[in-house]
Amino acid sequence: MHCPLGRCCIISVGLGVLWLLFTLDVPKGVEDDQASMAVKDQALPLPVPQEDSYRRRTDLGPLEDWQNLTSKCLEKLQQRKKTWLTVGISSRPRPGPEPSGLLYTLLSLFRATSKVEQKRLTVLVHLAGADPAWLGETVLHISSLFSPQILAGQLLLIHAPPDAYPPAGTGREPCSEQNVDHAFLMSSASKLSEFFLLLEDNAFCAPNFISHVQWKVDTLRSQPWVFLEFANLGVLGKLFRNGDLPTLAHFLLLFYREKPLNRLLAHFRVLLAQKDPILCTPFLFYHRATYYPLNDRQEASGAYRKSPYAPDNPPAAAFTDMKVSEVHFPWEAYTLDESFFWTHNVSAGNHLTVILNQPADLRRVQVLTGTIVDGKYALEKGQVELGYGPEGMPQRCSSFVLLGRLLEGQLDQEVVPRSMGYQVSCVRLLANANQTGGLIVRHIYLWEEHARDAGHLG
């Protein structure tokens, strides 16, 4: 296939593992006087805001040409049979101990969908950024973990090279890059399915979310909407009609320097006559961290702060005598995000125990088991105990006191009397009866007494 872009290839990774990585180059010498964007030779009218509210871009030539030519490189891909839903994720390398949660997001996504649901699903991932080491490592990990989905055509990867972006010094801030990233992602997804669901690369997905999304779409069939929102944080969990994606991608390219992505999406919604957001509850998608942006500028730069109501979860280790899979581990029940511990066929006396690095004064304990939406895979009969007197190596607690029993798989309890919360070294979730089938321990949350006192003093 003749492709006018400089770099457009299909790479085979691993033995028998196929994955698609499209490298999109921007041709040079493109005319700047294009009045409208064309995708698949169709003119796309765009509602343009007033000049006093947005500063229209004058350097659209290369990016508009990229949009115009992307469909030619993706023509073979887009001739495949359409699915009902495309899930789109854009990911960049991040500084810090966990540079990207993309792999965890993909694991959560595919684990949350049944075999039947996956036949109606395409996952499109845009690996953005110019770091070749990160790209190579990420592709290697994805191809090794998700080879069945890649071979089935359910998981696709795309990449736009650095020269597809505006040059440095022309408004190339983090929010600008994020807007261009998502313009590429949406343009590439426009012909893959009927609907497009936008996720972030640090998301946790509720089980069977596709069925819940389709039910909501069917319920609102007679109601006009631009996008539905299945989460209330940032751009996570927004559902679009694929027919709107080319126009939205062009809108993001027009005003990529003006506002962060979430605010551009809100403005686009209003322009298309949906005045108020449509929040669909219960929410189906959550961030993997209990932190939220300070403001638009800090959101674009990745700065976050902890909620004052969030649990403390002091440093600790977690272990269990339940069955452990290769995907979800005991410590994931103790993290301050939406990861979880999964096991099955629990026996009476099985436990999951958190051992604190240092004894702590606890004032509140919350243990949540089962799925978010419908409470499946909850611990039917269980209790939570506080442990004291750490001893031995590996360390364990010499004595335990009952804090409370689970009700419908959950416990949320203040530590009363207060003296019982002093110098706690262990928190143990104990199964009181045999239970066949799966078990999800979503959260073990701990609040420390001194943390509340510090809050009052502040």
Give the SS3 label for residue 409.
coil
pLDDT of 400 reads: 95
pLDDT higher than threshold 90 for residue 422? no
Rounded Cα distance, 1 and 128, in Å: 25
For range 236-249, the mean pLDDT: 94
449 band by pLDDT with thresholds 50, 70 and 90: confident
Express each pLDDT in 167-205 by its tens digit: 765 545 667 888 999 999 999 999 999 999 999 998 878
Highest mean pLDDT among 35-49, 292-306, 404-418, 439-453: 404-418
pLDDT of 174 reads: 64
Express each pLDDT in 338-375 by its tens digit: 788 999 999 999 999 999 988 999 999 999 999 877 77
Q: What per-residue string of b and e applies to 282-310 under the rule 16 or more CB within 10 Å gives b? A: ebbbbbbbbeebeeeeebbeeeeeeeeee
pLDDT of 311 reads: 87
pLDDT higher than threshold 80 for residue 227? yes
Express each pLDDT in 20-57 by its tens digit: 333 333 333 323 333 322 223 333 333 333 433 333 44
395 band by pLDDT with thresholds 50, 70 and 90: confident
Based on the number of CB atoms within 10 Å of its own CB, is 408 exposed (0-12), middle (13-18) or buried (19 or more)?
Answer: exposed
pLDDT of 170 reads: 52
Express each pLDDT in 54-102 by its tens digit: 334 444 444 444 444 444 445 555 566 789 999 999 998 876 544 467 8
Helix axes 61-73, 245-254, angle to 10 degrees: 150
Highest mean pLDDT among 10-19, 253-262, 265-274: 265-274
For range 137-164, the mean pLDDT: 88
pLDDT of 164 reads: 72
pLDDT higher than threshold 90 for residue 123? yes
Rounded Cα distance, 149 and 147, in Å: 5
For range 225-254, the mean pLDDT: 91
Express each pLDDT in 316-345 by its tens digit: 888 899 988 767 888 889 988 878 899 999
pLDDT of 66 reads: 43
Q: Which residues contact 349 (CB under 8 A, 6 or more apart)?
A: 430, 431
pLDDT of 458 reads: 40
pLDDT of 173 reads: 66
Helix axes 174-189, 261-271, angle to 10 degrees: 50
Rounded Cα distance, 230 and 212, in Å: 10
Rounded Cα distance, 49 and 400, in Å: 64
Residues 135, 122: contact at Cβ < 8 Å?
A: no
The predicted model scores a pTM of 0.55
pLDDT of 70 reads: 45
For range 4-9, the mean pLDDT: 38
Alpha-carbon dihedral 302, 208, 309, 328, rounded to 10 degrees: -80
